[in-house]
Amino acid sequence: MKTTRRKAALPKDGLYAARGVSTQKAGVHRAIRKLDKGLFPGAFATILADRWEPKKFGENLHADTAGSIPSLGGLVYLLTKNIRLATQPSINSAVMNLDDVGCVGAYTKILISQIIGINSLLFRGDTDEMIAALIDHLYEFCETMARFGIEVSIGGGESANVANNLRTYDVGNVVHFKLPLDRVVDASKMSPGDYIVGISSSGRAHWETEENSGLGSNGLTSAIHDLLHPCYRRYTETYAPQLGKKKLAYCGPHRLGDILPGSTLTVAQALLSPTRTYLPVIKIVLEEFFNYVHGIIHCSGGGQTKIRKFGKPGNVYLKYNLLHVPAIFTEIQKVSGVSHREMHEVFNMGHRLEIIVSSRTCAEDIISLCSAFGIEAQIIGEVKKGKTKERQVIIRSPRFDKQIVYPDPKKKHRH
C-alpha cells in the first residue's frame, strides 16, 4: 500500500504532546517531589527499608498500566473477535512494571496483582470473556517466566465496571519486591568511562512464541493514530473525542490486516506485539556480573532519553552505535513526518533496555549472553564527562546529518 507524508503542518510541540501525552512527565515529577525517595535516591525504582529487617533488605510496591494500547485491543476484539490478540495488553502492563523493578535488581520472588477496569456500556463484546482472557494471559506469562527461573506469583487482583471513567477497558498491575541491600543496582553509580549495552526490542527471544515488532508500551497513542486509517474513526469509543475534533485520530494509511511494510507482521500484530520482558537476561547478568553493573535503564517513558534522569551530575550519554531501527518505527516516521528528535524521545527505536557496565569485557560477555537467548545486543555508546553539571544524551547516527542533543529535563531550555 502506498504511504504518504502528512500534508498538514505538524503541531509546534510535536504530535505526541498534541495528543495529550508527555514523554518527560514534568508535572508528575513535581507532584511527587516531596515523597520519600528511598534508600537509593538515584536508583531506577524506589527502594524503602524493609519493615522487619531494615538494615538487610529493601522493598517496595511498584505500579504501572498498559497505557493507551487497550483502546486498540478493544477495536481489534470488536472487528476480528481475536481475543488472544486483543488481550496482549495484559502482558504489556505486567512487563512494563516487572522490568522497571528488574532495573534495581528485583528479578524473582515478585508478587503481582492485576487490576482490570471495563466499560460494559461502550465495550462491544463479552466483558466476561475479555476479563477472563486478560487474567489467563497473565497466568500464562508467569508460567513461562518460571521456566527461566523467574518467580512471579499472582497475589490477587480486582476487576470493576467503571463506565464513568473508561471508554473501553484498562489493565494495570502492582508488584511487590524485596531484595538484599547489597544487591541493589544503583544507577547513581553510572560514571564517565562506562559502556552502554543496548539490548534489542525486536525479533524473537527464546521465551517468546512469536516475532516481536519491538514497539513496546511507549508511544502507543501516536503509533496507533499515525498508522491506522481514518475509517476507524467511526468507532468513537476507541479514542478521545478531542482527538477527533483536532483531526489527530486515525490519520494513517493502514487497515488492521495490512502487512506492515518491511515486516511479516500485520499492522494489528505489530501494534499489539507483546512488550518484551528482559528479566531472564537481567537475572543472569546480575548473578554473574553484578560488581560491574553500574546501572540498568528501562527505555520506557522518554525513549532513548530516559537515561539522562539518572547517573552522576555532568554525565553525557553518548550514543553513537544504535541498533537497527525496526520496521514499525520506520513506517511511523514515514507516514507521520515526525522528526528524528521526537521519534527518539517517544519510542525506543530498537532497544528498550540498557545495561551500563564499567568493563568492555563485561559488555562483550553480556552481548554473548543475549545472543544465546536469541536477542541482538551491542555496545551502543559510552558515558562521557560533560563540561557542566548538566546531564545530557547525545545521539549520533548515519541516518541524520546532525547529532541530536537532549539537555537535562530538570532545566528549562529553548527549543
Q: Classify residue 50 by its DSSP letter.
A: P
Collapsing DSSP to helix, strand or coil, 381 comes out as strand
184 touches 105 (CB < 8 A) = yes
Does a structural domain hold residue 6? no
- 168 or 138, higher pLDDT: 138
Give me the number of domains the chain comprises: 1
Q: Average pLDDT, stretch 319-341?
A: 97
Expressed as residue numbers, the domain containing 94 is 15-406
Does a structural domain hold residue 396? yes
Under 8 Å CB-to-CB from 18, ≥6 apart: which residues? 11, 246, 248
Query: Residue 194 corresponds to which cell in the numbers above?
Result: 562506562
Q: Average pLDDT, stretch 56-71?
A: 91
Residue burial 34-47, b: 16+ Cβ < 10 Å; e: rest: eeeebbbebbbbbb
Where residue 154 falls among pLDDT bands split at 50, 70, 90? very high
Q: Indicate the average pLDDT of the chain.
A: 90
Does a structural domain hold residue 161? yes
Alpha-carbon distance of 229 to 16, in angstroms, equals 18
pLDDT per residue over 352-394, tens digit each?
999 999 999 999 999 999 999 999 999 999 999 999 999 999 9
- Which of 4-8, 104-108, 213-217, 227-231 is the least confident region? 4-8
Where residue 162 falls among pLDDT bands split at 50, 70, 90? confident
pLDDT > 50? residue 28: no
pLDDT per residue over 116-133, tens digit each?
999 888 887 888 899 999
Question: Which CATH number is 299's domain given?
Answer: 3.90.650.10
The radius of gyration of the chain from alpha carbons, rounded to an integer in Å, stands at 21
Alpha-carbon distance of 152 to 368, in angstroms, equals 26
DSSP per-residue string spanning 350-365: TEEEEEEES-HHHHHH
Torsions phi, psi of 138, nearest 5?
-65, -40
pLDDT > 60? residue 142: yes
381 touches 320 (CB < 8 A) = yes
Does a structural domain hold residue 340? yes
387, with CB counted inside 10 A (0-12, 13-18, 19+), is exposed
Does a structural domain hold residue 368? yes
The structure's pTM equals 0.90
pLDDT per residue over 75-95, tens digit each?
999 999 999 999 999 999 999
Q: Where are the beta strands (DSSP E) in 32-151?
A: 48-49, 57-65, 110-118
Alpha-carbon distance of 210 to 67, in angstroms, equals 22
Q: Average pLDDT, stretch 139-158?
A: 95
Terminal-residue alpha carbon distance, the chain: 36
pLDDT > 90? residue 247: no
Predicted pLDDT at 415: 31
71 touches 170 (CB < 8 A) = no
- 246 or 232, higher pLDDT: 232
Query: Residue 356 corresponds to which cell in the numbers above?
Result: 551500563
Predicted pLDDT at 410: 60
Query: Residue 143 corresponds to which cell in the numbers above?
Result: 508460567
